[in-house]
Amino acid sequence: MSKTVILVIDGFGIGAMPDAGALRPGDIAADTCGHVLDHCRASLGRPLRLPALGQLGLGLVHPHPDLARSTRLPVTAGRAALGYPGADTYAGHQTMMGADFSRVTVARLADHLPEVISALSAAGHRAEPLDGRPLLLVDDAVLVHDNLEADPGINWNASGRLDDLPFDRILAIARTVRTVAPVARVIAVGGHADGPLSAYVRDGDGGTVGLDTPASGFYRNGGLEVRHLGADIDHTRQLPALAARAGIPVTLVGKAADILACDAAVRRPAVGTAEVLAHTLEAVRAPGDGLIVTNVQETDLAGHQQDTDRYGRILEQTDAGLSALLGLLSGAGDRLTVTGDHGNDPTIGHAYHTREYVPVLTYSPDGAGPELRPDAGTLAEVGADAWLRMRGGQVVSG
C-alpha cells in the first residue's frame, strides 16, 4: 500500500527565470525564497525554522545561510522552469498534471468588451461598464473584470457577494463569459466582502482593471466559493484521471480541489493552512493506496498582500506539516514531492506573481540519494515522474 503526495506551496519561487523581466524589468531580481528568509531573519531576530524543507534538500537547490546545506534523507532535489507563459496558479497546476499550457492566449477584458456584453445580453443578463471603466457590472451585482493576481491578461474573473446572490448565479455568468473568452481561465468567485465590491476596484498592470480580491475580504471572511473554468483541456490524460482509472483513490486538497479535474476524486477545499495540512495528513493515514495533491494557498495570499512576515509564518507552519508527512511516509513505494507553481515575491514592490523557477524536492523512503538533479524544462515533469514512480513502484498492478 503506497501513498504519493504532491504538495504545492503556492507562489514559492526560488529565483527569477531568464525572461522574468519581460513584463516588469525589476522582476529579474525576484527570489521569493531568499528574500523571505532574509527579511524574516531581520524581522524576527532568528532564522525561519524550516527543518523539513532542509531535509528535503531545499538548501541544495537554493543555497542560503538559513537553510541546511546537506541532508541524509533519500531525496532528489532540483528546480523546474514553469513551462507556460507568465506566472499563474491554474496554468501551473494544469501543466504539472500533464496539460500543455505552453500557448496561453493573453488578453485584457478591455479589448473584448463588445463580444462579452453581446454574449451576456444574449443569455438574458444586463451588462454595462462600471463607471465608464473597462470592467462590467452584470445584473447590478456581479463584476466581470481582469484578474489582478496573475500576470495581466492571463485570467478574467466574475466576482459577486454571496450576500447579494447565490453562487450558482455568479457561476452562470462566468460560464457565459467563458464561451467568448480567449484567456486561459475564467474564475467564478463568490464571497463575503467588507463592503460594496466597487470600493475595491483598482488599476492593474498593462491597462488592466479589476477587483482587488484579497483587499475585499473574500479570503478572510469565510464562505468563499470558487470555480475555475479553464480553456479546453483533455483532463483524461492528466495525472489524477490516470491514477483514478488505475484504481488508485485520488484526494485533492486546498485550492487543488478547485482547479484540478477528476470526477472520481475526493475533494477537500480549504484556504487555511492548518485545515489544508489536516486534510492532507488524514488522506495519507487512510488505508490503501492513494494519490494526494495539495495546494497550500496562504503563501500566495501573503505574497499578494506583500506581507513578508506572514509569508514566513505560513512557511514555518507548512514545514511543520511536512515533518508530520515525512513521519507517515515510510513504506516502499511512498513518495512526497514538494514544489511550487510560480513565484510571488512579497518584497518585489508589487502585488503580482513573479516568474521564477520552483523547487522540485522528492522524498522516496526506498530511494537512493541525496541526489541533485538538473533543471527540468517544465512543471509537467512533476506529474510525469510521479506517474512513472507509481507504476514502477507497483502501485498500479500489471
pLDDT bucket at 369, cuts 50 / 70 / 90: confident
The residue-averaged pLDDT of 296-310 equals 97
pLDDT at 103: 67
Please check the confidence at residue 394 and state whether its pLDDT lies above 60: no
Which region among 169-173, 189-193, 276-280, 365-369 has the lowest average model confidence (pLDDT)? 365-369
Confidence of residue 202 (pLDDT cuts 50, 70, 90): very high
Query: Residue 315: its pLDDT value, please?
Result: 98
Flag whether the pTM goes above 0.85: no
- Residue 233 CA to residue 230 CA, distance in Å, equals 8
What are the sequence ranges of the domains in the chain?
Answer: 3-104+233-391, 109-230
Q: What is the pLDDT of residue 80?
A: 98
Superfamily of domain 3-104+233-391: Alkaline Phosphatase, subunit A (3.40.720.10)
Average pLDDT over residues 232-259: 92
Residue 234 banded pLDDT, cuts 50, 70, 90: confident
**205 dihedral zone (left: phi>0; alpha: psi -120 to 50; beta):** beta
